Amino acid sequence: MNVERVIRVIAGTFVLASVALGYWVSPYWFLFTALVGLNLVQSGFTNWCLMETILVRAGLPRAGDAPRTARFTVKRKPKRAAPRPKAGKRAS
């Protein structure tokens, strides 16, 4: 998964959890739902999200990054040994 998908999952989980807590525990939990929504709006305008920064530093790839798999590695040719001197000639 990339960072954008993880952020959507986290935001959706926060919204669902805070709505459930607001319904069954205390209506003050609806403020957390509003805070998540406000953060999504702010992220849409500024193109910056703290959760994205944290997840990228944790090692999750961004949407445009190439996947880190073995099939995309470059195969290198083995190095050749230095040429040997010819057998019939000696250095004096």
In a 3-state reduction of DSSP, which class is residue 27? coil
How many other β-carbons are positioned within 10 Å of the β-carbon of residue 18? 20
Q: Of the segments 29-33, 82-86, 87-91, which one has the largest average pLDDT value?
A: 29-33
Answer whether residue 7 shows pLDDT above 70: yes
Answer whether residue 4 shows pLDDT above 70: yes
In a 3-state reduction of DSSP, which class is residue 17? helix
Of the CA atoms within 13 Å of residue 26, those in its CB half-sphere come to 4
User: Given pLDDT bands bounded at 50, 70 and 90, which one contains residue 68?
Assistant: low
C-alpha angle 53/45/11, rounded to 5°?
Answer: 55
Domains of the chain, by residue range, sit at 3-60
